[in-house]
Structure 1
Amino acid sequence: MKKSLKVLVILLLIVLVYLRIAIYPQLDLISGFSAKSVASGHFIDGRNLETIQQNDNDIPKVDWATNEINDTEKLVTSNVHGLKDRKAIYREGLGATLINDDFDINKPYEVPKRTQLKNDLSYPYGNLEPKDSVFANIDYSKLNEAVANAFDRKGEKKKRTRSVVVVYKGKLIAEKYADGFNKNSRILGWSMTKSLTATYFGILQKQGKIDIMKPAPIAEWKNDERKNITINDLLHMNSGLPWEEDYGKISDVTKMLFQAEDMSRSQLEKPSQFKPNTHWNYSSGTTNLLSGILRKQLKTHQEYLDFWYNSLLDKIGMNSALVETDMAGNFVGSSYGWATTRDWAKFGLLYLHQGNWNGEQIFDPSWAKYVATPTNTSNGRYGAQFWLNSGDYFPDVPKDMFYCSGYQGQMVAIFPSQDLVIVRMGLTEEPDFDFNGFLKNVIGSIKK
């Protein structure tokens, strides 16, 4: 009996040591993810706590968290079995921000100045409902079947598609939403936000205010080998700086998103590992560094906040769009862009039309070619903050496809040869969702 008790005590101690070493350090990230997710989903898109917990937060370990919403203070508090309290605050115009104990929630803050697109045009160039359009070369039965097959049947929870929008020749030809979502639902694009961030460099370049081929304007790099890293290298994820992009553990990206006060510095502080333009390495830290560089190009913080909207989002009528900020006031350009599915499609159309929006050139046509040209170390998979199909990653889809891509299967797919944009928002990636088959079937419904 004594021997069994001794063995039991030893096993218990081993378990406790394991929990302390392997699990306890993760609780800060678990609570942080949960608080941020609940605050954003609730205050940006109006989802209730139960819906968020059963869908957005039903991720292993994240579902351990307990969450409480304070609607009066617009604050969410989360913890794991009473441990590691984390808070996220919602501020109108800035979205939800994960905060630490040093953050002053009463401190005044600036917000972007927004303008609503005002004209009498239908979608996509205006905010009126799209006009009915019928194309003789579209098999609508096949199209509707392809779109319907992107969604789960009743009672299933595998594909988990939330919305699909298809725009052909500038006309909305298909649109479908899962239960609980509609044309006004704002959905997080995750890393599709990277493509937004890159676009601002194209806008500045058209305005003659920046040269992406010059070294990145970072004072901390001027006296070491990092001084040779260009903005072009950063846009291509080719800086040679180390970065671990792993959401399943404590890594560079999870520490940045769920602990850092100033996310623009997470990649900046990394030492050189390789010569620039020799090693492709996907890095959300790099994109937030680019957001910080954008901030320095503008005279004031207010100008930085306004620029993201008046030069792009509000200009093309993405009035639902919201990019959230970190504690230091930087837009989290890697991950935290929200918009309706229709508005995400507008962004795809802007690139389909090579920067031209209803007659106004937002960025030069050469920029659309630039972002869709493979960087020489990505095996045809990546351009400049856009993903590519030039290497036949999707074998049954045109090779000229380039696309914005986000965690859990967000996609804005652009097909220049087809005059087509396809948007899918959801909660699953390959293999649970067959993107190759979905895109193939939608395209297959359109006869050339």
Structure 2
Amino acid sequence: MLRTVQGIILFILLIIGLLYLTGNQYIIRGVQLTYLKGHKTANIDDYKDFDNNIILSKTPQPWFEHELYNQIPLSDTLRNELERYKSIGFFVVKDGEALWEHYWDDYSAESYTNSFSMSKSVVTMLLGKAIEQGYVKSLDQPITDFLPEFKDDEFAQKCTVGDLSAMTSGYDWSEDYYLPLNPTAKAYYGSNIEKQMLNRDFIEEPRKRFNYLSGTTQLLAIVLQRAVGISISQYLQEEFWQPMGMEKDAYWSKDRKDGMEKAYCCLNSNVRDFAKLGQLLLQDGKWNGRQILDSAFVQKMVTPNYKAFSKNEPARYGYSIWTDYEHEPNFYGLMGHLGQRIIVIPSENLVIVRLGHEKDDRNMGKGFLDNDTYYFVDEVMKMLKKNNLLKSQSHVEKNPAAESPLPGH
């Protein structure tokens, strides 16, 4: 028995040694934060296990509440879908006012959870601001102007900052959220994300096809950090978080204490402030009479990049924004791992936010979007129709609050 235990210990030590020798020691941290805590992948609460940059709120300005705020019960179909996949928050804004707000378990408006890939859209918003302010010339500026590490890479020489956002870069990356020996896992649990990104190659011609890669958003964040001269957290705080009157501080998880934000995944906030990001896009970048983000850039973000998709594949991705303009109603949104969603339905002045632990991975054959996205869109539309709240059923104009910082009620 003693020999067996000693053998197991020796084997474990050998594995740990091999992980360090091969530069894969991040797997140890990954195992500690996932399998040993009962998870199979990253989870929405794990910002507590990482170092974070704090994005400070300055003058919190809560949403106005609709006259029917939380008076209309969620449909059984929608509630069952939300609870089936362990939702923790659901928030709907109609005409600039909070209409539905629900939480599950011990979560509340005070809770912070991981946006996962919704962060990608935020990074592209920062890119739009950097272009507006002259730090970046345009979406067509070569990345090698900021990343000289790739100056001898023939494919990287042709890659633009826009390609990093549109997922048409040709970068060498394998996107997987469950395999431990994978660059995405290393980026999440490793301790030097910038070095990891800059040590990889570009393996194909940019702009030939859509290929969703978290690594390209991280490269874009490095571009922004070098172009603007401050962290993306500070840039977000100065240009978006504080001017928009976000209700709470936010946390952007980093690879280490003095390191860099995990830009592709890990902005941690709450349903109410996430909804403001969707509302900003809905309003073409305008907030309280101030143009926070250039309207032309917003339109580029939400326009599918048709050239990057094959004829047999519906174009669903713009510049870090998912879209479906064939569905009725048309919508676009920010989408993240495990079903984090900020969905915008322009025709109804509507923003839907869903946060939670799991998602419906099934696909309706509509490209890359999962079933749950359509459930949320369709069921909310049914509830609006049932209660005569659709635009076609009334002459109610958008509340002026929808173009304000939505100061309390």
Q: Is the 8 A contact 2:135 2:228 kept in 1?
A: no
Partner residue of 2:39 out of 59, 65, 70? 59
Q: Is the 8 A contact 1:168 1:421 kept in 2?
A: yes
**What's the secondary structure of 2:106's corresponding residue?**
coil
Counterparts of 1:336-415 in structure 2, within 5 Å, are: 336-375=266-305, 376-378=307-309, 379-390=314-325, 392=326, 395=327, 397-399=328-330, 401-415=331-345
**What's the secondary structure of 1:266's corresponding residue?**
helix
Superposition CA RMSD, Å: 3.5
Q: Which runs of 5+ in 1 are unaligned?
A: 1-8, 39-52, 64-68, 70-74, 77-87, 96-111, 119-125, 153-157
Which residue does the alignment assign to 2:387? none
For 1:82-114, what per-residue CA distance to the aligned partner results, in whole angstroms no more than 9, with x for missing partners?
Answer: xxxxxx554xx626xxxxxxxxxxxxxxxx6x3
Partner residue of 2:254 out of 325, 332, 335? 325
Greater relative contact order structure (CA < 8 Å, 6+ sep): 2
In the alignment, is residue 215 of structure 1 matched against residue 142 of structure 2?
yes
Q: Is the 8 A contact 2:322 2:335 kept in 1?
A: yes
Aligned length: 353
In the alignment, is residue 442 of structure 1 matched against residue 377 of structure 2?
no
TM-score (norm 1): 0.70
Q: Which runs of 5+ in 2 are unaligned?
A: 363-370, 385-389, 393-409
For 1:346-367, what per-residue CA distance to the aligned partner results, in whole angstroms no more than 9, with x for missing partners?
Answer: 1110111010011110111111
Counterparts of 1:158-169 in structure 2, within 5 Å, are: 158-169=84-95
Counterparts of 1:275-314 in structure 2, within 5 Å, are: 275-299=205-229, 301=230, 305-314=233-242
**What's the secondary structure of 1:94's corresponding residue?**
strand
Inter-CA distance 176–89: structure 2 relative to 1 (3 Å threshold) = closer
Which residue does the alignment assign to 1:84? none
Task: Please identify the structure whose Cα radius of gyration is greater.
Answer: 1
Q: Distance in 2 between matches of 1:89 and 1:224?
A: 33
Q: Distance in 1 between matches of 2:78 and 2:341?
A: 14
Counterparts of 1:19-418 in structure 2, within 5 Å, are: 28-29=25-26, 31-33=28-30, 57-60=37-40, 88=49, 90=51, 94=53, 114-117=56-59, 126-127=61-62, 130-134=64-68, 140-141=72-73, 143=74, 145=76, 147-152=78-83, 158-210=84-136, 211-216=138-143, 217-225=146-154, 226-249=156-179, 250-261=181-192, 263-299=193-229, 301=230, 305-318=233-246, 319-327=248-256, 329-375=259-305, 376-378=307-309, 379-390=314-325, 392=326, 395=327, 397-399=328-330, 401-418=331-348
Partner residue of 2:357 out of 415, 427, 440? 427
Q: Which amino acid aligns with 2:239?
A: S
Q: Which amino acid aligns with 1:266?
A: Q
Compute the displacement of 1:279 (Å): 2.2
Inter-CA distance 170–146: structure 2 relative to 1 (3 Å threshold) = farther
Inter-CA distance 34–336: structure 2 relative to 1 (3 Å threshold) = farther
Tell me which stretches of 4 or more aligned residues in structure 1 moved more than 4 Å.
24-31, 34-38, 143-147
